[in-house]
Amino acid sequence: MAKENPTWGYDRIQGALKNVGVKLSDTTVGNILREHRIEPAPDRGKRTTWKTFLNAHWEVLGAADFTTVEVWTRKGLVTYYVLVVIKLSSRRVEVVGITPNPGASWVRQAARNLVDTDEGFLNDTRHLLLDRDKKFLPFAGVLKSADMNIVFLPPRSPNLNAYIERFMRSMKSECLNNIVFFGENSLRRALTEFGQHYHNERNHQGLDNNVIDFHESVNSTEAHVQCRERLRGMLKYYHCDAA
């Protein structure tokens, strides 16, 4: 009860226990909490657990991160940076941009696009999780000016940004790691194809094994199940076509 309700003092916990048939004095409650190194309510209430924070802001919470891809160009092998943003509640993802030079002006423009009044992907997002990569400093500045709360994660804590880390792993294992890219356009095509597959055809365990943008298949005993492909068979999905 103390962990789930940071503002509850000894008397409040004692009363809640009494409601379920457990009779203890407030002194005993305090002794039990101290034995388990749980602070009194005034101190405990000043701290919010990560789980509590996520639950409280789930519908308006997003995350952003960079990943890198090696691309063969006329100048040889070039490292491209891919900026991705995800909405945690829906798992919807936006590939914000691709560039070999993610300088301050580039990331500022990417941020402006995300909060564009008409079509900004993050218009309904109020809290954004970012790691402490220096590339994000000008990015965060633009979003803060748009009244978004930026939550910088502690160093070396990818587990606190698990949702976008999981997307990155899927994107790499199912797509990027299996292709040799020749030029920026080939990378863009692959990311577009994977994005369409991710939203419209791929089931997600975190969403009760549903598709994000599900389109009802033909509901008929005469329908034929067809295997469809993207990226020359690298990505497969199944669809019902009318006979």
Q: What's the CATH code of the domain at 84?
A: 3.30.420.10
pLDDT tens digits, 22-75: 999 999 999 998 888 777 777 665 666 787 788 888 999 999 999 999 999 999
Mean pLDDT of the chain: 90
Instruction: Specify whether 110 is located in the same domain as 147.
Output: yes
Over range 161-174, report the average pLDDT.
Answer: 96
Instruction: Specify whether 15 is located in the same domain as 115.
Output: no
pLDDT bucket at 243, cuts 50 / 70 / 90: low
Per-residue pLDDT, 55 = 84
Instruction: Specify whether 140 is located in the same domain as 32.
Output: no
CB atoms within 10 A of CB 198: 22
- Please classify residue 85 by burial: count the beta carbons closer than 10 Å to its beta carbon, then call 0-12 exposed, 13-18 middle and 19+ buried: buried
Tell me if the pTM is above 0.85: no
What are the b/e assignments for 94-128, b being 16+ CB within 10 Å?
bebbbeeebeeebbeebbebbbeeeebbbeebebb
Query: How much of the chain is helix, strand and coil, in % rounded to 5?
Result: 40, 25, 35
Q: Which domain holds residue 16?
A: 10-47
Instruction: Specify whether 112 is located in the same domain as 17.
Output: no
Token pair of 155 as six digits: 């160093």
Radius of gyration of the chain, Cα coordinates, nearest whole angstrom: 24
Helix axis angle for 26-35 and 10-19, nearest 10°, is 110
Count of domains forming the chain? 2
pLDDT tens digits, 174-201: 999 999 999 999 999 999 999 999 999 9
3-state class (DSSP) for residue 80: strand
Instruction: Specify whether 21 is located in the same domain as 124.
Output: no
6-15, 140-149, 185-194, 234-243, range with the lowest pLDDT: 234-243
pLDDT tens digits, 64-109: 999 999 999 999 999 999 999 999 999 999 999 999 999 999 999 9
CA 20 to chain centre: 38
Q: pLDDT at residue 218 above 70? A: no
Q: pLDDT at residue 128 above 80? A: yes
Instruction: Specify whether 30 is located in the same domain as 98.
Output: no
33-37, 230-234, 235-239, range with the lowest pLDDT: 33-37
Report the C-alpha gap between 80 and 191 in whole angstroms.
Answer: 13
Does 1 fall in a domain? no
Does 188 fall in a domain? no
Contact 187, 80 (CB under 8 A): yes
Per-residue pLDDT, 51 = 79
Q: pLDDT at residue 163 above 60? A: yes
Report the C-alpha gap between 71 and 35 in whole angstroms.
Answer: 57
Backbone phi, psi, residue 8, to 5°:
-80, 125
